[in-house]
Structure 1
């Protein structure tokens, strides 16, 4: 049977090929926004459309015509909305779940197929790599078991997508907070945690928390004159 994996994150070409080899099924990767449309999907006629690390809104005509499955890094209905990893860590939450849910009109409101535990220790890049492996296992489970999604239960808590300026560590008071801010933004393509003086900007990566200090890589640039 044919399946589609739609992801805007690098690395999913290899993951798609690995899943195809494991299952013996046909898998097609969509990695840009314009290709997730009815014309493309009708040519494939997929049983499921899996959307790990997909950064765009799924068109209504797509999720109404095909069973689309989103993977969200919270224990839904807690943590609906944007920037789940950063919102969790900034709240001091270091263990979460990845929820596989059916795409619906509301943001992260669809019924749940399966949940799996995920640790939020390490850099954002390390966490995303762990999540990708976990999502691969969840995709294989869904293909093999065809679970019926169950409506979400509990009081919803919604997250707002974080803005780049929220990575400023200027107001943080503890080493633990600073360490969390650096690591939760330490992934390819993310605006890193930063600190600014009148003339300079410092961006931090690869943080290591010691007993009484933090070791980290820092890039110092001159701010543009306004």
Structure 2
């Protein structure tokens, strides 16, 4: 098929790679503009752009696709370029820009989106993190026909993945990226064979997955141990959860439910040893297994306490 691909992060580049390896004709890639990143804050290309360039695929990086907006002239040029390609379909994966209706209607078969959730649950920007944070036991990937609403279009394919107890956002991301790459190839085959059948989403079951904000990263020990552990898993690797001890922000990368310690206050340090730092919560307690102090490395609790003293006290 003749495809225009729109995506930006690693999750999207996995799908683009699968399309290229399967022999589809990628006429154009749309991706976000290069962003400053790293210690030197140098401009960095997205994962999708790096792959496209290595494969010799043309790339466009518009700031916006609104034809009537501030960057309308740039958007019109992109629109005209896509129209000249006459794509069969546009595949969209974590692109980060809104596609106006005129773009959605350009391809012969419209636009297919690879979404990392079991729609209509977890529509929006952070479906992987929100599923873990909520304590969901399963998630998956949906291949959806895009329309003007946010992740509201009918679903062509859907497949479930179990969320394991030791899954963090990074591990679950990789599982879903691989699954999405496989499902989009199946979806394109169905389009080509005229066997595609779409199912309208149940609006009453829709839940929104809001974008992760750094302000959410603070660990609040007045929550239950289960809620705290899920949040730590969900926010690994970004932005990482933080708890303050004597006004020192310490990142907590891994923890587990340590059971009940009657009479313990929320935030109170119960015990410190090589197996972990046990901290009381409003319900049960958590055993912190991996930590990182400012400017330091991510360490196991056993390594961390060799250079950091937790005297009797509490996390804030």
- What is the match of residue 183 of structure 2? 138
Count of residues paired in the alignment: 217
Match among 135, 140, 156 for residue 92 of structure 1: 135
- Deviation, 1:129, is 0.9
- Deviation, 1:93, is 0.7
* 3-state DSSP of counterpart to 1:65: coil
1:16-55 map, 5 Å: 16-22=16-22, 24-27=23-26, 28-32=28-32, 34=62, 37-55=78-96
Question: Against the structure 1 CA distance between its residues 92 and 21, is the aligned structure 2 distance closer, same or farther, given a 3 Å change threshold?
Answer: closer
- What is the match of residue 2 of structure 2? 2
- What is the match of residue 282 of structure 2? none
Give the stretch that moved more between structures: 94-103 or 176-185: 176-185
Unaligned residue ranges in structure 1 (runs of 5+): 222-226
Q: Is the 8 A contact 1:209 1:215 kept in 2?
A: yes
- Deviation, 1:13, is 4.4
Root-mean-square deviation over aligned CA pairs: 2.6
Determine the C-alpha separation between the residues in 2 that align with 1:71 and 1:11: 10
Match among 117, 123, 129 for residue 80 of structure 1: 123
User: What TM-score, normalized by structure 1, do the two folds share?
Assistant: 0.82
Give the stretch that moved more between structures: 84-93 or 172-181: 172-181
Unaligned residue ranges in structure 2 (runs of 5+): 33-60, 66-77, 260-286, 296-316
* 3-state DSSP of counterpart to 1:61: helix
- What is the match of residue 224 of structure 1? none
User: What TM-score, normalized by structure 2, do the two folds share?
Assistant: 0.61
- Deviation, 1:154, is 5.5
- What is the match of residue 113 of structure 1? 156
Determine the C-alpha separation between the residues in 2 that align with 1:219 and 1:15: 36
Determine the C-alpha separation between the residues in 1 that align with 2:98 and 2:221: 33
- Deviation, 1:11, is 6.3
* 3-state DSSP of counterpart to 1:220: coil
Question: Against the structure 1 CA distance between its residues 41 and 148, is the aligned structure 2 distance closer, same or farther, given a 3 Å change threshold?
Answer: farther
- Deviation, 1:124, is 0.8
4+ residue runs over 4 A deviation:
11-15
**CA displacement, residues 183-217 of structure 1 (integer Å, 9 cap, x when unaligned):** 21113xx3221123564322233x25376623113
Question: Against the structure 1 CA distance between its residues 160 and 8, is the aligned structure 2 distance closer, same or farther, given a 3 Å change threshold?
Answer: same
Give the stretch that moved more between structures: 79-88 or 96-105: 79-88
Q: Is the 8 A contact 1:193 1:204 kept in 2?
A: yes
Match among 180, 194, 206 for residue 230 of structure 2: 180
Asked which structure has the greater RCO (Cα within 8 Å, sep 6+), the reply is: 1
Give the stretch that moved more between structures: 172-181 or 120-129: 172-181
Q: Is the 8 A contact 2:90 2:112 kept in 1?
A: yes
